[in-house]
Amino acid sequence: MHVSQTLKIFRRIKEAKPTASLVLTTHLRQRQLPHWTSYFVKYSDVTSDQRGLSHFNWKVDGANYHILRTGCWPYMKYHCTKRPYEDLSVDDKFFRVLKIANLGIPCLAYGCGASFLISCQEDIYTPEGTVTIYFLYEEDRDMTMNHLRKVLIGNLSRDLNLLKTRPATPMVAIEGSVTENLVVKVKENYADHPLVLGPRYQPKDIKLAWAHQLDKNISGVCILGVNSGTKGTHKVRESQLIRSYMVSGQFGRTTDTLFNDGKVIGKSTYKHVTRGRLMRTLMTIQAGHQRSALHFLGLDPQSQEAYEALSADGLVRPGEKSPPLIYALKIVDFNLPDFTLEVSCINENAVYLQHLVHDLALRLKTTAVCTQMRCIRYGPWTLQHSLCGILEPEALGV
């Protein structure tokens, strides 16, 4: 009897573990859908529901990743690269045959070596519990704008110095005596030689400014100006363009920072939340902000001035120092306990968006925490413009 009860307890513990696929999805969301990441997770901490898979596609919130999975006891290693969907069945079979041919010895050695080389770790918060994942080295995350500025300026100066430079200016020398024939010679000018002058482009030669400062927890569109383009960032900032965000949240818990990396300070039920109730609450919040728009301008909603302000552009844009104003709220995805909203607003920041998710949950008689924020549009600029040609503000009517 005692043996059967013990087996039931162990079975419950095993069933309570999060699956490896859930940890993978949650990690990518916590990292704001990075372009690349690589981590270890212990076999003992998760339920392996991807056994036998070596190279496969994995979709998270519309983004596709190529996953290279390797079992290296006592860990599972995941290499994740954001790339378009491809048929990886041939690669998957090749890696599987390669592991069998090597009897798994290299993988075992990799796992044993990783136990000594792991230098940092991170907690993954899933609905089924917290799982710790491990890294050989610390990956770039929570990048501030100042850090981004230093990285971009460093990369620009490095790449410019790799380009073919102009030839050194020759030195003209006149040799000989005044009593004899003078000889004009052209010599190499070492004063203009790259090995003497050093790199032609220095980080201090490059100016970089941004139109809107993104928080470390926000990814996506960021308008930057380089050198003479810094003047354009001021024009963009003064234009009070509307920004759109994909804001993801998770019902059922709240943290001290209102973001998923904070300490959990409360939990609640969320089964009563439906898509319809969420939609009605969003419409109520949006209507309240539309009424506040005229108040920010100091206009009476029943006055002729308010009518003309609304009919002129259709959108009321308060000053730069006014409180945040929401123009549109829309449900993009709803799959309890996770949900994703599209928020169009101005004068906002990361703290305001996190409070928006928190206050939304309170209106629904539950709690929620913000898990991801991504800027998908800044005025006329979208994510599709990130890798295209230069877009001048004048060309876009800004």
Report, as residue numbers or ranges, the catalytic residues: 215
Which residue is listed with tokens 């609905």?
Answer: 127
Residue 352, token pair as written in the block: 């305001």
Cβ atoms of 245 and 353 closer than 8 Å? yes
> In the Cβ-directed half-sphere of 193, how many Cα atoms lie within 13 Å?
8
**Separation of alpha carbons 373 and 32, rounded Å:** 7
Q: What is the 3-state secondary structure (H, E, C) of the chain?
A: CHHHHHHHHHHHHHHCCCEHHHHHHHHHHHCCCCCEEEEEEEHHHCECCCCCCCEEEEEECCEEEEEEEEEECCEEEEEEEECCCCCCHHHHHHHHHHHHHCCCHHHHHHHHHHHHHCCEEEEEEECCEEEEEEECCCCCCCCCHHHHHHHHHHHHHHHHHHCCCCCCCCEEEEECCCCCCCEEEEECCHHHCHHHHCCCCCHHHCCEEECCCCCCCEEECCCEEEHHHHHHHHHHHHCCCCEEEEEEEEECEEECCCECCCCEEEECCCCCCCHHHHHHHHHHHHHHHHHHHHHHCCCCCCCHHHHHHHHHHCCCCCCCCCCCEEEEEEEEEEECCEEEEEEEEECCCHHHHHHHHHHHHHHCCCCEEEEEEEEEEECCEEHHHCCCCCCCCHHHCC
379: alpha, beta or left? (left if phi > 0; alpha if psi -120 to 50): left
Comparing CA positions, the residue from 321, 303, 319, 323 lying closest to residue 311 is: 303
Peptide bond into 380 cis (omega under 30): no
Give dist(CA 115, CA 136) in Å, integer: 9
